[in-house]
């Protein structure tokens, strides 16, 4: 699997695969195949794909650690940028089809509807993550600060979920919301457990080094 993941052709193929939902939506719009309300279908599908890509990004490290497929690491940045790509499309579809690109109307709607405000907050928080996903930014920030900043992805996942929950609350339809909530909770739970185990291991290693360095007393 690692060989496949590191093959030069695999990343461009993964890139095309990530563009698949976008291509499908463009085709659907051009072929008039998006159902009775194409505008709503576009807003909703791009929202769904944003949340799906958030889940995919959050799954990269657990999958890499559990399976040993270290080649997955080279896909994380691209997948993260696809989260941003789909949320920008989502925001554009909403701004165009729901709001007719009326900035004043958009601002009023963000202030008026809490579920839109929460989605917008998630978008605002995603922006610095997307802007700092390049090597130059990572160097400028330093690895520690960059990692701390990118932990915000869990907060963004929570806000995206709340946005979805709030939207579906009006329709009393929570089935999909619970599926996403379960996936995100499991991935966050794994991350916390992994950080805890890592800390314990570090403590044990430094205790062992300290014991070795201590001079032996005769006795
Ligand atoms: C990380 C950020 C976001 C995520 C993960 C997200 C996700 C979603 C999801 C999953 C849906 C429901 C789709 C469905 O019913 O199948 C949705 C709907 C929607 N979102 Fe977002 N969204 C985000 C940001 C935004 C932003 C920034 C706006 C606008 C300012 C927005 C406006 C909407 C609207 C208008 C709907 C459709 C509501 C309806 O049809 O009743 N979202 N979003």
Please report, in tens digits, the pLDDT of each residue of the chain (219 residues total).
889 999 999 999 999 999 999 999 999 999 999 999 999 999 999 999 999 999 999 999 999 999 999 999 999 999 999 999 999 999 999 999 999 999 999 999 999 999 999 999 999 999 999 999 988 999 999 999 999 999 999 999 999 999 999 999 988 999 999 999 999 999 999 999 999 998 888 888 888 888 888 866 554
Does residue 211 fall inside a structural domain? no
- Return the pLDDT at 219: 46
Site to substitute for ligand 1 among 45, 82, 164, most atoms within 8 A of C-beta: 164
| Angstrom distance (rounded) from CA 76 to CA 147 | 13
- From the CA of 118, how far away is ligand 1's center (Å)? 9
Q: Which residue has the tokens 């991935």?
A: 187
Domain that holds residue 196: 2-205
**What span, in angstroms and rounded, lies between the C-alpha atoms of 69 and 62?**
10
User: Quick check: is 217 in a domain?
Assistant: no
Q: Which atom of ligand 1 is nearest to the CA of 180?
A: 10
DSSP 94: I
Distance CA 117, CA 125 (A): 12
Judge whether 214 lies within some domain: no
Query: Does 216 map to a domain?
Result: no
137 Cα–ligand 1 center, Å: 29
Find the Cα–Cα–Cα–Cα dihedral 179, 181, 182, 184, rounded to 10°: 120
Does residue 160 fall inside a structural domain?
yes
Cβ of 129 below 6 Å from ligand 1: no
Cβ–ligand 1 distance for 123 under 6 Å, the answer yes
What's the total number of domains in the chain? Answer: 1
pLDDT at 217: 59
Rg (CA), the chain: 22
Please answer whether residues 82 and 18 qualify as being in contact, where contact means their C-beta atoms are separated by less than 8 angstroms.
yes
């Amino acid at each position: 699997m690692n060989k496949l993941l590191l093959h030069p052709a695999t990343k461009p193929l993964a890139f095309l695969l990530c563009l698949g939902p976008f291509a499908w939506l463009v085709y659907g719009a051009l072929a008039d195949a998006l159902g009775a309300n194409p505008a709503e279908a576009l807003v909703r599908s791009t929202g769904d794909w944003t949340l799906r890509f958030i889940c995919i990004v959050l799954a990269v490290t657990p999958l890499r650690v559990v399976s040993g497929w270290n080649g997955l690491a080279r896909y994380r940045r691209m997948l993260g940028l696809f989260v941003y790509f789909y949320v920008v499309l989502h925001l554009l579809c909403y701004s165009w089809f729901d709001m007719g690109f009326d900035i004043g109307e958009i601002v009023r709607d963000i202030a008026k509807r809490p579920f839109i405000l929460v989605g917008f907050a998630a978008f605002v928080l995603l922006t610095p993550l997307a802007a700092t996903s390049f090597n130059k930014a990572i160097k400028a920030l330093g690895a520690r600060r960059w990692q701390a900043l990118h932990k915000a992805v869990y907060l963004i996942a929570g806000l995206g979920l709340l946005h979805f929950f709030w939207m579906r609350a009006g329709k009393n339809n929570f089935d999909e919301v619970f599926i996403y909530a379960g996936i995100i909770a499991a991935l966050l739970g794994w991350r916390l457990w992994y950080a805890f185990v890592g800390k314990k291991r570090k403590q044990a290693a430094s205790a062992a080094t300290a014991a070795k360095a201590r001079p032996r007393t005769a006795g």
